[in-house]
Structure 1
Amino acid sequence: MTTLEFSYSLNNLSSSLKPFAMKLTRDLDDANDLMQDTMVKAFTNRDKFTEGTNLKAWLYTIMKNTFITNYQKMVRRGTFVDTTDNLHYINSSDIKIENGVFGNLAMDDIYESIDKLDDVFKTPFLMHYRGFKYHEIAEKLQIPIGTVKNRIHIARKQLKEDLMVYKHKN
């Protein structure tokens, strides 16, 4: 098989490898990286491919082994070896476990801010929040639909201002 034929075959099979890469990584960017690594390894090792055998299976094997190798490197990078007598292995990762107390505090602040709204804004806002459509709110409150939209907009604006401390800075 010539280099051109091999390259053409790799290109044709790349689309069938994408779902497998997604299954392994569960992330689009990581899947694209894995696809690229697989294709580079396959192309640089084309002399190891035996013509007449299943190229697709060979590519799947390269992808699986590349994924495993990358995963093992990632785990090793986050593992410290304790050199004391006990020889503990400690995985240090960027994963943080929180107990939810901050979420509860935020929700308390949100409810408090909603309670501070004037009833004229709070009622349509809460109805919309609970799933009512604009026209249903308008019928129930016997006000025009434009007024409903305006009051919900004003309520959101006031809540946004009141809860400014929760704005994420990127």
Structure 2
Amino acid sequence: MEALLRTALRMTRNQGDAEDLVQEAIVKAYRNWDKFEPGTNCRAWLFRIMTNIFINEYRSKSRSPVSIDVDDIDENYLYGQLASLGPENNPERELFNKILDDDIKKTIDELPDDFKMVVVLSFIEDFSYQEIADIMDLQLGTVKSRLHRGRKLLQKQLYDYAVKNGYIKERTR
């Protein structure tokens, strides 16, 4: 339940709307329990229901999509630096485990919705690529692409933060 609320809050950016979204998802899941296939991932099923409700109802109320050119971002520098910080050799998780504070949450919240959802479900809720594809009703390649672009956007936004807080050394130009 906490994971649903946490993700709903990231989707809606409003506590009341997030609580309403979770409530609607739980009610819809209860009403459609007979459609749940035993042996499948119940958690992913609940997230899929919530995501669909958000897409169909809440997202239409929000701002229009933002177009951002991220092709000129050097994606390997920050992640290469962060990879050396932790034994799991997973730079995304290492970054979020070390510095998931208000600035980081704000940066994630500012991502375009399509990228934000994939980033939240992968980095914070720890869903696999396939589970994210199932939850969001996307092709696996689309999930990978959005996660890649989301990483690039986060890296660009978090570079100065990481240098300022001593997580990486400033790149010499």
Alignment TM-score > 0.5, same fold:
no
**Higher RCO (C-alpha 8 Å, min separation 6):** 2
Instruction: Pick the structure with greater CA Rg.
Output: 1
TM-score by length of 1: 0.37
TM-score by length of 2: 0.36
